[in-house]
Amino acid sequence: MQPNLCLVGIRGRCGASIDQIQFLFIDINTGQHVESPPYGGHGGNHFIWQAPEGEWIDEIKMEWNDFCQSIEVKSNGGVSSRRFGGRGHHRGHFDVQGRRITGVTGKAGALLDGIVFHACQ
């Protein structure tokens, strides 16, 4: 987690589940883009979504079974991505309500096993 970062985009690979995911940040002090390492394998089809210029991701919805099945994100300006991946039996909603998501940690093999988001205060 780095307090100077702000989550602005996601990309990865998906089919019925999230095969791979990578998070795109912007450094609010320098304007430089920073990428997380990719988590997961190489199956599925490529996807990418980035918040509009000047906006950032402050809401994330995920569905899972044994692995992460889908992810959908929304910017602080109200622009939503489509749902990437399939359906899961469990649903989670991470909403930081205008604050910034400053870091991500994950666990993965060929599929995404788990992800934790960190937000600034």
CA distance readout (Å), 65 to 18, 96, 111: 11, 24, 12
Question: Which CATH number characterizes residue 107's domain?
Answer: 2.100.10.30
Provide the domain limits for residue 84.
5-119
Q: Which residues of the chain have pLDDT under 50?
A: none
Number of domains in the chain: 1
Query: What sign for the dihedral angle of Cα 105, 37, 120, 63?
Result: negative
pTM (two decimals)? 0.91
pLDDT value at residue 121: 64
Query: How does pLDDT run across 69-79, given as a tens digit for each residue?
Result: 999 999 999 99
Measured from the Cβ of residue 45, the count of other Cβ atoms closer than 10 Å reads 10
Per-residue pLDDT at 111: 87
Cα 77 from Cα 100, distance rounded (Å) = 13
Residue 1: per-residue pLDDT: 57
pLDDT at 120: 82
